[in-house]
A and B are shown apart, each in its own frame.
Chain A
Amino acid sequence: MIFLDIAVNSKPMDWFPILLQLGIAVAFAAVMIGATQLLGPKRKTSDKLVNFESGIENVGNARQPMAIKYFLVAILFVLFDVEVIFFYPYAVNFRSLGWDGFLEVLLFITLFLVGFVYIIKKGALQWEE
C-alpha cells in the first residue's frame, strides 16, 4: 500500500526524457571512442602490448583470488542496502503513520542494529589483523 502511494503519481511519460538523455549520452560516448580509435597513430610493438608490471616480466594472471574482505563487504552491502531501501517508503509516509509507525520503525531499526553489532563483533569489518 505504501509502495503504491509513490507509484500512483508517476506517469510513464515522465520517464521519456531520461530515455532521450540515455540515447544522447550513449551516442556521445560511442562517437568519441570511435573517433579516438581512428585519430591516433598505430605503431604497435609486442612490448607495448604487454601488461604493465613496473618494468619486470609478467608473473601469472592478475585474475586470481583476492582478499575475502572485499567480497564480505559486498555481501554485507547487499543486506544493508535492502534494509535502507525499506526505509524510503516509510520516510515519505511517516507523518501519516504517526507514533505507531514510529514504534514499528524503531523495532525495525533495532533488528538492523542487532545485525550490525553482530557483524562488527564477528570481525567482518576488521581490516587490520
Chain B
Amino acid sequence: MLLAITVSYLLGKAALIGAIVAVSLGLAMYSTWAERKVAAIMQDRVGPQRAGPFGLFQPLADGLKLFMKEEIIPNFANKFLFVLAPGLAMVCALMSSAVIMWAPDYTMADGTVYPFQVADINVGILFVFGIVSLGVYGIMIGGWASNNKYSVMGSMRAASQAISYELPMGLSLLALLMVTGDTSMRTIVQQQDSFLHMNVWKQPLAFIIYLVCAFAELNRAPFDMAECESELVGGYHTEYSSMKLGFFLFSEYINMFISSVIMACLFFGGYHYPGMDWVQAHAPQWVFVATCILATISKGIAFILFIIFVRWTLPRFRYDQLMNLGWKSLIPLALLNLLITCAVILKFFN
C-alpha cells in the first residue's frame, strides 16, 4: 500500500500543505489587524493607521517586534514544558486544517486528479474533534509550567471550559451527521450543492449550538475567561514573552480561521457559491477551482468578522454562567435536537 507514494504525490501534498499553512498564518495575522480596525470603528476611533496605508503593515511590524523581544523563562518555571506548550498550541492549530475540503478536485491534462483536501479520511469530523481536544494541552501545560498563580488559574478555567463545551459540540454535530449520513468532510461538502441544500436549513439548532460552543472552544469573548485581563492579568500566558507569546496568540487566531472554515463547510456549503455551474461550464478549470477556493475562504472570513463583532458587542460572561449555559442548557438542548432529528428522519425520509 505504501508503495503508492510517488514523488509527484509527495510534492503535490507538500505544496498544498504549505499553501494552507501560509494562508492560515497570513489570515491569522490580518485577523489581528481586522480585529483592531473593527474595534476602532465600533468605538469611534481610527485604529492602526501609521504602518502603511490603513495600517496594513501593522501585523508585519507586530510579528517582527515579537521576534526581536527578549525571551524570559522564569526561574521557577519548568523549562522544558514552558517551551513545549506554545509549540503544542501551534501544532494543534495547524493540524485541524488537514481534513478541510477547499475546492473541487482538479483534473490535470494527463488525467491525474489533484484534490484540494490534504487528507480525505472517512472520519473527518472526528479528526477535527480529536485535534480540538488536544488544543487544551497547550494551554494547560503552559499555565502549569509557568508556576504563576494567575496562569494556573487561567489554565484551569480554560481547560474546564473547553472540555465542558466539547460535549454539546459533539452532540450537535451528531444531529448533523444523521442528516448527512457520513463523517467524511468531502461527502458533507458535496451534498450541499445548492443554496437550499445547505445543512444550516436542515439543522438550524445544531448550527446555533455549534457556534456557541465554537466561541467557548476558541476562548473568544464573551467566553474569554481564560485570559480575562481584568482578573487574571493575561491568564495562562501571563509569563510568556517574545514569539512564545506570539505563538499562543497566533494559534488562537489560526483556530478562529480554521473553525470558521469548518463551520462554512459543515453548515454553509463549503466551496459552493451561486452560479458556480455556469462558471464551471464556461470558464477554464483553473478559474473555476480558484473561485471555489475564494468562496471557501470568503465564507471563513465572514465568520471571522462575525466573531470579531461579537467580541466588541457582548460583555464577558461570569464563570458560573458559562458553566451553567454549557451543562444545563446546551447539553439538554442538543440531546433534544438529536432525538427529534432522529425521529423525523426515520418517519419521513427512510
State the A residues within 8 Å of B (CB): 6, 9-18, 20-22, 24-26, 28-30, 32-33, 35-37, 39-44, 48-54, 58, 61-63, 66-67, 69-70, 73-74, 77, 80-81, 84-85, 87-88, 91-92, 94-95, 98-99, 102, 105-106, 109, 112-113, 116, 120, 125, 127-128
Closest 6 CB pairs of A and B: A127-B320, A36-B243, A25-B94, A29-B87, A77-B163, A17-B119
A37 to chain B: which residues have CB within 8 Å?
A: 71
Closest chain B residue to A16, Cβ basis: B5
Chain A residues, CB < 8 A from B14: 20, 24
Query: Is B121 close to A, CB under 8 A?
Result: yes
A63 touches B147 (CB 8 A): yes
Q: Which of B119, B153, B332 has the most CB of A within 10 A?
A: B119
Q: Name B152's contact: one of A26, A66, A92 (CB within 8 Å).
A: A66
Asked if B37 is an interface residue, CB under 8 A from chain A, the answer is: no
Chain B residues 288-345 with CB under 8 Å of chain A are 319-320, 323-324, 327-328, 331-332, 335, 338-339, 342-343, 345
Contacts A33-B244, A39-B67 hold; do A15 and B119 have CB atoms under 8 A apart? yes
Instruction: Closest A residue to B99 by CB, please name it.
Output: A18
Would you call B118 and A18 a contact (CB within 8 A)?
A: yes
- Known interface pairs A29-B90, A74-B160, A127-B319; A13-B1 also in contact (CB < 8 Å): yes
Interface flags, B74-109, vs A, CB<8A=1, else 0: 111100000100110011001101100000000000
CB-CB contacts below 8 Å: B254-276 with A: none
A40 touches B98 (CB 8 A): no
Q: Binding site of A, secondary structure by majority: helix, strand, loop or mixed? A: helix
Residues of A within 8 A of B121 (CB): 10, 14-15, 18
A sample of 17 more A-B contacts (CB under 8 A), given A36-B71, A70-B156, is: A11-B1, A13-B2, A17-B13, A22-B95, A24-B14, A32-B243, A36-B66, A36-B67, A36-B69, A40-B242, A81-B163, A87-B171, A87-B174, A92-B183, A94-B345, A98-B350, A109-B339
Contact of A73 among B163, B324, B338 (CB under 8 A): B163
Q: Measured between C-beta atoms, what is the minimum distance from B113 to chain A in Å?
A: 14
Q: Are the CB atoms of B177 and A62 closer together than 8 Å?
A: no
**Partner among B87, B98, B323 whose Cβ is within 8 Å of the Cβ of A33:** B87
B17 within 8 Å of A by Cβ? yes
| Contact A52:B238 (CB < 8 A) given known A21-B98, A36-B66 | yes
Q: Which B residues are CB-close (under 8 A) to A53?
A: 148-149
Interface residue? B21 (CB, 8 A): yes
The answer to whether residues A30 and B87 also contact, given A14-B122, A17-B118, A98-B350 and a CB cut-off of 8 A, is: yes
For B323, the chain A residues whose CB sits under 8 A away are: 73, 125, 127
Do A54 and B156 form a contact, CB below 8 Å, given A20-B14, A39-B68, A109-B335? Answer: no
Q: Could you tell me if A94 and B83 are in contact, using CB atoms closer than 8 angstroms? A: no
Asked if A84 meets B171 with Cβ closer than 8 Å, knowing A25-B95, A62-B151, the reply is: yes
Alpha-carbon gap, A2 to B247, bound state (A): 41
CB contact under 8 A between A77 and B164, given known A53-B148, A91-B177:
yes
